[in-house]
Amino acid sequence: MALNSYEEIVTNFVSPTLVLAGPGAGKTYLLADRVKRLLYNGTDKGVITVLTFGKDANQHMINELIKPSGFNIPFAKLPHISTMHSLGFEILCEKPRDVNLLKTNLRVQENENVKRLMYRDASLILDYTEDDSKEALKCKQYGDCKENPEERKCQICEQYWKIMSKCNYVDFDDLILFACRILEKNPTILKKYQFQAKHLLVDEYQDINTVQFRLIELLSRESRNGLFVVGDDAQSIYGFRGGNPKFILRFKEDFPGSETPPLPYSRRCHDKIMQDAIKVLKKYYTDWTGEQELKYKVPSGEEPQIWKLLSDKAEAKVVAVIARQFVQEKKSILILVPKKEFFPLITQELSRRGIVYSCPISFLPERVKIAKLFVDWVTNSSNTFRTRLVIEELINKGIAHIPGAKKDKRTTPETIKNRIIEETEIAKLWESVNKKNDLFLVIKNLKDPNKTLIKIRDELLNLSDLFINFKKEKCGEFIKQLAVVSSALLNNICFLLQYFQ
């Protein structure tokens, strides 16, 4: 039975449903409406789970449900609405020991630099290469990781997990993976979450990866007809972390008997924009689930304009000129750039014309970022991951005296090999780190450190001593040393340190 109208879609409770909804089709509204109808039909809120893709989307969904001008549902009556990751964390906390973690002080590691470095350490411990560690990282991001691995990359994944569990940390990729493992091993826990997800609603289905699919499949296994997902394969933007529109394209195979109706509205963009967007999609995305006969809920507007410009600088100028015109017309403007390298040029041109803007990217210059890293470290030197990041900077800046570690003309295959040997020594320090011994403590108590480790240890001790004096006497030695280890300018560092006094 094909679902023909909005009404039929939102009240389809007899088969799994994937709603194909383009940009601005009203996905959040549809999901919220579905929740409202379930509640009004007498469905207990305890058997409804809504999965959103991020904190903002989560809040947006809750607002839509509780606001008086919206669905006006009392907060106390709301069902379980959470992001995929927070649900993963909740499940993980049911039995963390199954994956070598402890419930007390279990934390999520969110820093991408730490993650990359830990994968490299894991790889070096096993005598594999940095490139192998990149493969392992991808394996986890894509959610393809195997248990008891023979494959090199997954051996690294396991080693990485060992390091993380020593510090009682888990990262976003592992949250979902571990949640699945716990559900698969513990039928009672699985039953509990399946019961809560008799009606499972999932937003942004185009962005799920293999392991997120595994979680959705597990949760909905006993009540497939309650599965209701929305997505748009043309809007899949998380390819870099394994999100894959293939799960939309194969929904009917994964969930036999399902319905996949379109939600053919455009509530955000007018016809001219959508028509051009469709042209681009047809040209570059040949697997697209297809063009829909859209019903527009917004009045028609101007044709999109395309400018061909010769340089990034010329482009920045044109963008700023157009922006100024719209600002004068009291319109709000969104500027999208393909890479963050474009920000300085555009913001410069905007400032030059006195246009006020907000930009989510931190503009700290690289050296100041490094100085900040050291300041963060001295204020909490028992944080093992910070210690590890700081050590890496001491190596990169040439302060650990590893020849060729500074990326300059002296880098040769010989010096790279040497650096790897030294880095491997450092990676092996993880063997001594545990929940009681942080990395700095391990380094301080090393029995027979090599030359590099002595240098690193002394530099760390020096910095932390200078910082104590800095707090006591406000003397300049700490600031000077910070300038040495980060190559940042003294006045930048003084600026930075205002926040720590």
Closest contact distance (angstroms) between CB of 214 and Zn ion is 14
Q: 170: part of which helix (H) or strand (E)?
A: strand 169-171
- Which among 152-160, 161-169, 324-332, 406-414 is the span making contact with Zn ion, rule CB under 5 A? 152-160
Cβ proximity to Zn ion: between 71 and 142 the closer is 142
Cβ proximity to Zn ion: between 157 and 227 the closer is 157
**What is the β-pairing status of strands 199-202 and 169-171?**
unpaired
User: What is the rounded (10 degree) CA torsion for 364, 365, 370, 374?
Assistant: -50
Closest contact distance (angstroms) between CB of 143 and Zn ion is 9
SS (HEC) of 192-233: HHHHHCCEEEECCHHHCCHHHHHHHHHHHCCCHHHEEEEECH
Closest contact distance (angstroms) between CB of 140 and Zn ion is 6
Closest contact distance (angstroms) between CB of 188 and Zn ion is 28
Sequence length of the chain is: 501
Number of residues that bind Zn ion (CB under 5 A): 4
Cβ proximity to Zn ion: between 147 and 329 the closer is 147
Instruction: From 205, 164, 155, select the one nearest 20 (Cα to Cα).
Output: 205
Report the residue from 157, 183, 320, 370 that binds Zn ion according to the rule CB under 5 A: 157
Cβ proximity to Zn ion: between 8 and 151 the closer is 151
Closest contact distance (angstroms) between CB of 157 and Zn ion is 3
Closest contact distance (angstroms) between CB of 156 and Zn ion is 7
- Which among 82-90, 153-161, 178-186, 471-479 is the span making contact with Zn ion, rule CB under 5 A? 153-161
Counting other chains too, the contacts that 142-146 makes at CB distance below 8 Å and 24 or more residues apart are: 142/209, 142/210, 142/241, 142/242, 142/244, 143/173, 143/176, 143/177, 143/209, 143/210, 143/211, 143/212, 143/213, 143/214, 143/242, 144/210, 144/211, 144/242, 145/177, 145/211
Q: Is 200 in the site for Zn ion (CB under 5 A)?
A: no
Closest contact distance (angstroms) between CB of 158 and Zn ion is 8
Closest contact distance (angstroms) between CB of 129 and Zn ion is 16
Cβ proximity to Zn ion: between 153 and 406 the closer is 153
Binding mask 128-147 for Zn ion (x = CB under 5 A): -----------x-----x--
Report the residue from 154, 183, 190, 389 that binds Zn ion according to the rule CB under 5 A: 154
Other Cβ atoms within 10 Å of 314 Cβ, number: 12
Check residue 16 and report its DSSP letter.
-
- Measure the CA–CA gap between 14 and 2, rounded to whole angstroms: 12
Cβ proximity to Zn ion: between 164 and 190 the closer is 164
Closest contact distance (angstroms) between CB of 139 and Zn ion is 4
Instruction: From 168, 179, 181, 173, select the one nearest 157 (Cα to Cα).
Output: 173
Cβ proximity to Zn ion: between 177 and 493 the closer is 177
Let me know: does 408 contact 487? Beta carbons within 8 Å: no
Cβ proximity to Zn ion: between 139 and 390 the closer is 139
Cβ proximity to Zn ion: between 155 and 481 the closer is 155
Query: Residue numbers of the site for Zn ion (CB under 5 A)?
Result: 139, 145, 154, 157
